[in-house]
Structure 1
Amino acid sequence: MFKTKALFGVLLVALLSGCTEGTVEGRWYTQVQIEHGKTVFEENCASCHGTEAQGSFNWRKRLEDGTYPPPPLNGTGHAWHHPFDMLMGTIAQGGAPMGGQMPAFGDVLSKDDQKAAIAFFQSKWDKRIYDAWSERSGL
């Protein structure tokens, strides 16, 4: 049952994103999205989240202003706890609702750019983390 649900979710996101061919095995995104996402990430996200999506050193410790530093997005933090829609919402609306400082990118990045950024950092997740994300909430 789970495998059918996961496969349906992967196919649904692929259809919604317009990328039905060439998806990375077991994932919702394509290699082209990863490559585009790398550029989007480097230009918009890496200055805070790091070039390899590794996040800040003490990302779990509040700053003096009460906000949190940028977390890792490479699978070593908590990004995998969040469903796809929440990841998209955080990119679009920024991190303030979650206690962070991340600016909103909804007016800066297209939906395709936002999806590509997610594809890039999720490509850094090992199979165990990606599968846990899919089982937990994923798509």
Structure 2
Amino acid sequence: MLARRSTIALLLGAVIVAGCSEPADDRWYTEEQVQVGEAVFEAECAVCHGEQAQGAENWQQRDDDGYFPPPPLNGTAHAWHHPKDELRTFIRDGFNRMPGFGDRLDDNEIDAAIAWFQSHWSDDVYEAWLDYDERGESGHDAGADTQGDDPGVE
């Protein structure tokens, strides 16, 4: 645990030292954030969302308690229907069965994790997400076709 935290801290330090580097492919994040985000995601998120953010098997089917398993975050599910502030809130505070990570991750690490999984999104998915983000509303607010109340279900 300490080794993972040290690795994340070192990578986060590299982002801070890099300062205002160029965004990755005209996106809001930098390549350095993506690198830090990979370490954060691997340490904190991959156990549920998969090493490549592919989500749990059968993620679209409710479990016995009525919850959806962890969805893909790689652009193939519903994460792109949520503005960045909402994604931050889900990660910091938790949602449904997902625990909050606000006690383990700071805002820069949360943003880095978002940067990493968004780096897997196609340009079309990213552009669609920008519409939600610029309006500050989720796909649920905009009346998107969703299954249930779980973020992560298309």
TM-score higher than 0.5? yes
Q: Is the 8 A contact 1:19 1:29 kept in 2?
A: no
CA distance in 2, matches of 1:93, 1:20: 28
Paired residue secondary structure (2:26) = coil
1:6 corresponds in structure 2 to none
Please list the CA deviations of residues 66-118 of structure 1 after superposition, one character each: whole Å capped at 9, or x if unmatched. Answer: 1110000000000000000000000011122xxxx111101110100000000
The normalised TM-score by structure 2 is 0.73
1:50 corresponds in structure 2 to 50
Moved over 4 A (4+): none
Count of aligned positions? 118
CA RMSD of aligned residues (A): 1.5
CA distance in 2, matches of 1:130, 1:42: 22
Give yes or no for the alignment of 1:109 onto 2:105. yes
2:25 corresponds in structure 1 to 25
> How far off its partner does 1:39 sit?
0.2
1:131 corresponds in structure 2 to 127
CA distance in 1, matches of 2:125, 2:86: 17
Give yes or no for the alignment of 1:84 onto 2:80. no
CA distance in 1, matches of 2:19, 2:34: 12
Question: Which stretch shifts more, 18-27 or 33-42?
Answer: 18-27
The normalised TM-score by structure 1 is 0.80
Structure 1: tracts of 5 or more residues without a match: 1-17
Structure 1 vs Structure 2: percent identity of aligned residues? 48
Structure 1: which amino acid aligns with 2:115?
A
Q: Is the 8 A contact 1:40 1:117 kept in 2?
A: yes
Structure 2: which amino acid aligns with 1:26?
D
